[in-house]
Structure 1
Amino acid sequence: MDNLIEQFIQYLTVERGLSTNTLASYQRDLHGLAVFLDQSGLHVHQGTRSTIIAFLAYLQKEGRATATISRNLASLRAFYGYLLRSGQIDRDPTVNLESPKPEKKLPTILTIAEINALLDGPSLSTTTGLRDKAMLELLYASGIRVSELVSLNVDDIQLSLAYLRCSGSTSRERVIPIGETAILYVKQYLECCRHKLLKHEHEQALFVNHLGQRLSRQGFWKIIKKYAVLANIRVEITPHTLRHSFATHMLENGADLRSVQEMLGHADISTTQVYTQLTKSHRLKDVYAKAHPRA
């Protein structure tokens, strides 16, 4: 089988121009199959659907991650497809084999203490610091996406009525209530800072960068990562971290699932239900920490 693998790798190198790392990945996966077949007393030409399923089951038993098993199956598909096209086998044993379903990981959220540290990071004595404070407070207060935050116009937020309007990926407008703290800092930003950043009076964007233009999503994430470092937050900040935290903290404090679904703009409530798993997990951790003698 080693010769067949070398032929296949040569084919991938010449015909498909794959990177060295990708080729090494193929070679590693196929070597694993070769060892498995050898231990089973089989030649590669004798590989059947049952053989491939047994190999994937072996990988699972060895504790390989779902993503790793899926990658192995992709390598096997490419290899056996090559052997079939080159006339070295009569039947591809990987046809119609389904990849294992990816594991659904619960979203990462910040604790209340981490949220407070993050939101307290910006300096209120500077123009950009007050802008950053207003953005972070508004994002956590509303649970909107970062793309929705930077798309807000001045007219989309009604501070006197304590709500904002935004349109998500479905273009369906939703109205979201916002709290007093967010209102306070957005009001200060509008009154004291925004006009200092503007270059053109006709700019409608609520949050603008140092060029006076609408802040980009990438620009915002440079900002939030800076404050995550200042707050000594060790978990990886993602574009949805504050949104996940908003939803989880709302449910932990008694908000009903339908209301959180509406605020997040989820079309399907099953998407929102993942946060109930997080709240259950956090409650169990709290109970354990308080009750277990060695916790």
Structure 2
Amino acid sequence: MAEPRPAPAPGEDALLIARFLEMLAAEAGASRNTLTAYETDLRGSSVTLEGELASAGRAELETLGESWRDLARATVARKSAALRRFFGFLADEGLRADDPSAALPRPGSARSLPKSLSHADIERIFETLDRDVATDKPLALRMAALVELLYGSGMRASELVALPRSSVRPESPFLILRGKGGRERLVPISDRAQAAVARWREHVPSDSRWLFPSRTSHLSRIRLYQLVKELAAKAGVPPDRVSPHVLRHAFATHLLEGGADLRTLQTLLGHADIATTQIYTHVESARLVALVNARHPLVDAPSREA
């Protein structure tokens, strides 16, 4: 079956992508397959960045790279290469003064762990949230609902921002998410998250399709990324260490430290392949060593001398 055509890039991006592809065809002699691959990756990135790919800075490209984390390394490498070449073209043509493409991922031979947050970092973030929520301002209530769901359920940013208004129900401790590849999974919702969502939903119009609406659609991933950075700075946690994906990573790491196993984590995170979840084996291994040292029947037995 033929691969579906990529969505059209909005506005200025569409014109610049077209110019770039013309250059590849005329000067570099790129093949039709190469041009199609570049077009697909560039258009997709433009749509993700809401038509602002050509003007994106390092922060936006870091967010874009994070949205690729669950893709195969070869796919991430291809997308990064396409965007680096595109930004190189823009700089060479004098269409922008800088080249922010160094912020794009360069996948190596093994999938690396994202930046981590300690329990103390999480405590500072939630203490700040609690102070803000006490003001009862709608934006503070929205932020609390977003972070409670991110850290309390391990959702992907794309899943979170697109939640329907009716998705979190007081009578149900779970919600059903449709993740990558259309796969559905049950996600448990904590009592804290339930309460935070209930307070925020009072400020969401009853006819809204989305739990986190924004003008004609829902809150964008880019805006979520910015809000999380702002919260981190306010909490005294270095913003460069915090993002929606880092909160998802903290959810996974802290669950494992608390005794969860990799198979359970795979289900909660929505990983199709356990190999993806195995980036957390360093945490699981440390827990197992501690378990053996603490619980093995011979731990307290006197040592035998030769």
Equivalent residue letter for 1:268: D
Aligned to 2:236, what secondary structure does the other structure show? coil
- CA distance in 2 between partners of 1:169 and 1:155 (Å): 21
> Residues 104 and 262 of structure 1: is their aligned pair in 2 closer, same or farther, counting only changes over 3 Å?
closer
Aligned to 1:112: 119
Aligned to 2:195: 184
- CA displacement, residues 202-228 of structure 1 (integer Å, 9 cap, x when unaligned): 32101124x474111111111101001
Aligned length: 183
Equivalent residue letter for 2:253: T
- CA distance in 2 between partners of 1:231 and 1:281 (Å): 29
Equivalent residue letter for 1:215: L
Aligned to 1:166: 177
- CA distance in 1 between partners of 2:218 and 2:197 (Å): 16
**1:262 correspondence with 2:273:** no
Q: Give the alignment's TM-score, normalised by structure 1.
A: 0.56
The Cα RMSD (Å) is 2.8
Of 234, 238, 243, the match for 1:230: 234
Given that 1:142 and 1:246 are in contact with CA atoms closer than 8 Å, whether structure 2 keeps it comes out as yes
Greater Rg over alpha carbons, structure? 1
**1:147 correspondence with 2:158:** yes
Aligned to 1:252: 257
Q: What is the deviation of 1:273? A: 1.6
**1:277 correspondence with 2:282:** yes
Aligned to 1:267, what secondary structure does the other structure show? coil
- CA distance in 2 between partners of 1:232 and 1:283 (Å): 33
Given that 1:166 and 1:175 are in contact with CA atoms closer than 8 Å, whether structure 2 keeps it comes out as yes
Given that 2:262 and 2:284 are in contact with CA atoms closer than 8 Å, whether structure 1 keeps it comes out as no
Map residues 198-217 of structure 1 onto 2, 5 A cutoff: 198=205, 201-209=206-214, 211=215, 213-217=217-221
Given that 1:248 and 1:278 are in contact with CA atoms closer than 8 Å, whether structure 2 keeps it comes out as yes
- CA distance in 1 between partners of 2:197 and 2:232 (Å): 21
Equivalent residue letter for 1:229: A
Structure 2 unmatched runs, 5+: 1-26, 29-106, 290-306
Given that 2:111 and 2:279 are in contact with CA atoms closer than 8 Å, whether structure 1 keeps it comes out as no
> Residues 243 and 206 of structure 1: is their aligned pair in 2 closer, same or farther, counting only changes over 3 Å?
same
Q: What is the deviation of 1:257? A: 1.5
Q: What is the deviation of 1:180? A: 1.1
- CA displacement, residues 164-221 of structure 1 (integer Å, 9 cap, x when unaligned): 1111111111111111111111111123x22xxx4xx532101124x47411111111
- CA distance in 1 between partners of 2:284 and 2:234 (Å): 27
Aligned to 2:51: none
Q: What is the deviation of 1:237? A: 2.2
> Residues 140 and 109 of structure 1: is their aligned pair in 2 closer, same or farther, counting only changes over 3 Å?
same
> Residues 283 and 130 of structure 1: is their aligned pair in 2 closer, same or farther, counting only changes over 3 Å?
farther
Given that 1:157 and 1:165 are in contact with CA atoms closer than 8 Å, whether structure 2 keeps it comes out as no
- CA distance in 2 between partners of 1:168 and 1:112 (Å): 28
Aligned to 1:157, what secondary structure does the other structure show? coil
- CA displacement, residues 241-278 of structure 1 (integer Å, 9 cap, x when unaligned): 01111011111101121111011010111111211214
After TM superposition, the runs of 4+ consecutive aligned structure 1 residues lying more than 4 A away are 279-284
Equivalent residue letter for 1:220: L
Aligned to 2:246: 241
